[in-house]
Structure 1
């Protein structure tokens, strides 16, 4: 009953437009007061602090800052120019450029919203000018941006790893194959639609132009190598890799490309602080709610009730996917992870599901949730740039959502798709 009352309270507060972080904090405080009395608020305050200061979570503000620095230092634009020269000659090539750039950007920022903001402002106007409908331009940009939370490094994976107490490095490795597979299938869908709508090629192939744009983008392309190479080699942790991303973006923007001056740097840092404040307030209040639910034995009770019905991992996986898909439509990714993972982890462990496998499932569900209204944070950002209607774009986006759903089902029921590479880390 506690879980039911907590859910009703949260939904009620969210429906009356109370910010999610505030709604979670108020619900947590009410729960502690009603079940344990005022003295329990001391525990809540301690959890608010400790829940947002763990070492792995330091990577979040650093990756947010790195993404913002890329947007203002010319790094994103040079990446776009290089990928355009490389694959823009294919029919529908500009749409594929969008997907390709998102893959590269994903390896630096770990944020889908940062991805769509960086690539969309440059590519969507150009796609519209070349004959793409505004809804198709918005749909391709939105769906490809969600690769940023599947391909490492990924902010949701960092959150999941911290809460589930599992290896972030293994989560990053497990995301490589699903991310690359998703990107390839998105390109296939883009090509099919390009043929159907007779969309043009972005530009003819010119080896000389490829060489020039590669030379301009060379330093930008070193960033994924530095970050992922350092993390996967074991030289740095995911958090230290985020610090490397910021340092690399600063050095490249200030001293190599020289597109980043003091005023832009100040504005970028202020934006990063603002975005970090929103995320970390959500993290801290959600940690307090997790403490309340744990003390009330809600996760353990839920796990026991479901295992009484079935212990078949395939059925449990289906139920978990359904839960995550529904929540993903109404909650932002960080909120969904922090609210759901502590509750369901006892169930995941009880039926023998690998926590790394489940982490990739969570990430893919959130990627779909970013594309499905009413919340759909990435889709809404893309639509605002394209000046396209959300519901019209959602219909256009269905084939791309189907790709993400196919990858989710494949990962769910063929765990080797995500876990095969992690074996090399043991």
Structure 2
């Protein structure tokens, strides 16, 4: 019953353009009051306070802040340049650059949404200008951004660890290899599609360019 009331309240509040954060809080309070009465109010405050005192949750706003700083200071451009130097020489290299840059960005922000917002506005127009179809460019950007859920430091992993009592560090370690494998498989898929549709490669591979772009992006990495 409480879940149904929570869902209905959330949908109604969102439908009238109430901000998501306020809608979630208001719908929860109303649902609890309707099912448990006024006596449940102290419990709501206690749960909120207990949740806020968990040390692991401090990492979430800090990772979000790091992503915002990267986007504002142009560090995203440095990561893209480094990814381009690494894999841009392959057929369909710009799509692989998108995947590689998403993996690098995921190591810092931990958020798929921040990944798309920071890299999509830069790489999707570049891919369209190079002759990539817009749906393909959007698909590569959005799908590669989901690697941020696996590659540490992942915000969903932090939340899962806190809620389940699991070790956040162990979750991070467990996500490294699957995240890398997922990124490599996405690059392989992009290469197959690029060969079929004759997508262009970027500049030829140059070790000097890799070294220079790495030096510029090393602080972000």
Q: TM-score, normalised by structure 2?
A: 0.89
2:183 is matched with: 183
Match of 2:202 in 1: 202
Map residues 299-338 of structure 1 onto 2, 5 A cutoff. none
> Please, which runs of 5 or more residues in structure 2 have no aligned partner?
none
Q: Which residue of 1 aligns with 2:94?
A: 94
The Cα of 1:18 is off from its aligned counterpart by 4.4
Superposition deviation, residue 86 in structure 1: 1.6
Mapping for residues 131-150 of structure 1, pairs under 5 Å: 131-150=131-150
Aligned partner of 1:167 in structure 2 is: 167
Q: Summarize the Cα distance change of 1:85–1:34 in structure 2 as closer, same or farther, 3 Å threshold.
A: closer
Q: 2:38 matched to which residue of 1?
A: 38
Alignment CA distance shift 1:200-1:170 (3 Å): same
Distance 1:75 1:25 in 2: 35
- Deviation of the 1:5 alpha carbon: 4.6
Measured at CA, do residues 188 and 15 of structure 1 come closer, stay the same or move farther in structure 2, by a change above 3 Å? same
Matches within 5 A, 1:277-356: none
Query: How far off its partner does 1:158 sit?
Result: 0.8
User: Which residue of the partner structure matches residue 374 of structure 1?
Assistant: none
2:71 is aligned to 71
TM-score for both structures, normalised by structure 1: 0.48
Distance 2:149 2:35 in 1: 37
Match status 1:218 vs 2:218: yes
Are the counterparts in 1 of residues 66 and 109 from structure 2 also a CA contact under 8 Å?
A: yes
Q: Distance in 2 between matches of 1:80 and 1:6?
A: 42
Aligned-pair CA distance for 1:28:
2.8
Q: CA distance change for structure 1 residues 219 and 40 in 2, over 3 Å: closer, same or farther?
A: closer
CA distance in 2, matches of 1:69, 1:82: 19
Describe the shift of the 1:30–1:198 C-alpha distance in structure 2 as closer, same or farther (beyond 3 A): same
Aligned residues: 221
Tell me the CA shift for residue 23 of structure 1.
Answer: 3.7
Cα displacement (A) at 1:211: 2.6
- In the TM superposition, residue 206 of structure 1 has moved relative to its aligned partner by 2.0
Distance in 2 between the 1:137 and 1:155 partners? 25
What are the Cα deviations for residues 382-412 of structure 1, in whole angstroms up to 9, with x where unaligned?
Answer: xxxxxxxxxxxxxxxxxxxxxxxxxxxxxxx
Query: Per-residue deviation at 1:100?
Result: 0.6
Give the Cα–Cα distance (whole angstroms) in 1 for the partners of residues 191 and 163 of structure 2.
39
Q: Distance in 1 between matches of 2:124 and 2:2?
A: 47
Partner of 2:158 in structure 1?
Answer: 158
Distance 1:36 1:83 in 2: 54
> Equivalent residue for 1:55?
55
Deviations 1:60-90 (A, max 9, x none): 1100111111122232211211221121110
Quote the Cα distance in structure 2 between the aligned partners of 1:160 and 1:37: 30
Residue 200 of structure 1, CA deviation: 0.2
Instruction: Single out whichever of 15-24 and 186-195 deviates more from structure 2.
Output: 15-24
Q: 1:102 Cα shift?
A: 0.9
Partners of 2:36 and 2:215 in 1: CA distance: 63
Paired with 1:20 and 1:117, the residues of 2 have a C-alpha distance of: 18
Give the secondary structure class of the aligned counterpart of 1:219: coil
Q: 1:36 to 1:107 in 2, by over 3 A?
A: same
Partner Cα separation in structure 2 for residue 168 and residue 116 of structure 1: 24
| Deviation, structure 1 residue 10 | 4.1
Give yes or no for contact 2:2–2:32 (8 Å, CA) kept in 1: no
1:195 to 1:215, Cα distance in 2 relative to 1, 3 A: same
Asked if structure 1 preserves the Cα contact closer than 8 Å seen for 2:5 and 2:31, the reply is: no
Aligned to 1:236: none
Give the secondary structure class of the aligned counterpart of 2:38. coil
Change (3 A) 1:9 1:122: closer
